[in-house]
């Protein structure tokens, strides 16, 4: 009879008590084993040395944040599934995480049983999300398509990054241009959309 190997889970969490509690929970669950670390740099080092099926990732980490770490993991180990487990429920963080390659997103306030189910689901090919997170994703697709006539393709790209919550420097890094170029694009976006702030521009993007 073949031996069934346990699901190998890597937990990346900087809160000591939460990390210890979650490690114990996962490790004592039949069919799972868990190793934990406190930051993204440690996680990447561990991934270099061993094989992991699922990474449970916090967003607010010291140094490199969980979204940046997720992006690196998916670029280097695309077979590894990343489940975000965080206190953040704002649209910007959710969509940044999903675009970085996360396949699931649960909040820390969720029941522990829901988190364990989410780990199993991402490993099985699913995309589990806490109910409130799933509703935000669905609502985004329900929004009417806005009319952005007059914006160049580059300006539309910049506007989308603004909507994801990125600041000027992050947009510059993502698009490989200078911060002054980003500010120029943003000024043109404001002029063309007849708005005066990031919030107004994002509302235009979402058709509100």
Res. 27: pLDDT tops 50: yes
User: What pLDDT was estimated at residue 32?
Assistant: 96
Res. 168: pLDDT tops 60: yes
Residue 146 lies in a domain: no
Q: In the chain, count H helices and then E strands.
A: 10, 5
Residue 149's pLDDT band (cuts 50, 70, 90): low
Are 108 and 174 contained in the same domain? no
Please indicate whether residue 184 or residue 139 has the higher confidence score (pLDDT). 184
The CATH number given to whatever domain includes residue 201 is: 1.10.10.10
Among residues of the chain, what percentage have pLDDT more than 90? Answer: 65
Are 192 and 117 contained in the same domain? no
99: its two tokens: 């675009």
Residue 1 lies in a domain: no
Residue 133 lies in a domain: yes
C-alpha to C-alpha distance for 150 and 165, rounded to whole angstroms: 23
User: What pLDDT was estimated at residue 1?
Assistant: 45
């Amino acid at each position: 009879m073949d031996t069934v190997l346990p699901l190998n889970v890597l937990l990346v969490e900087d809160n000591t008590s939460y990390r210890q509690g979650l490690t114990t929970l996962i490790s004592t669950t039949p069919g799972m084993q868990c190793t934990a670390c406190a930051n993204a740099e440690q996680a990447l080092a561990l991934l270099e040395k061993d094989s992991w099926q699922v990474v449970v990732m916090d967003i607010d980490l010291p140094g490199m944040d969980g979204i940046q770490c997720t992006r690196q993991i998916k670029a280097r180990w695309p077979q590894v599934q990343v489940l975000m487990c965080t206190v953040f429920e704002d649209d910007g963080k959710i969509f940044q995480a999903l675009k970085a390659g996360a396949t699931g997103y649960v909040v820390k306030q969720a029941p522990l049983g829901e988190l364990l189910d989410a780990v199993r689901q991402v490993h099985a090919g699913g995309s589990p999300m806490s109910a409130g997170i799933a509703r935000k994703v669905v609502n985004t697709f329900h929004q009417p398509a806005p009319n952005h006539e007059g914006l160049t393709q580059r300006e539309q790209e910049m506007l989308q990054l603004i909507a994801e919550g990125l600041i000027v420097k992050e947009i510059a890094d993502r698009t490989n241009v200078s911060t002054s170029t980003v500010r120029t694009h943003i000024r043109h976006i404001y002029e063309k959309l007849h708005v005066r702030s990031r919030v107004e521009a994002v509302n235009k993007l979402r058709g509100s």
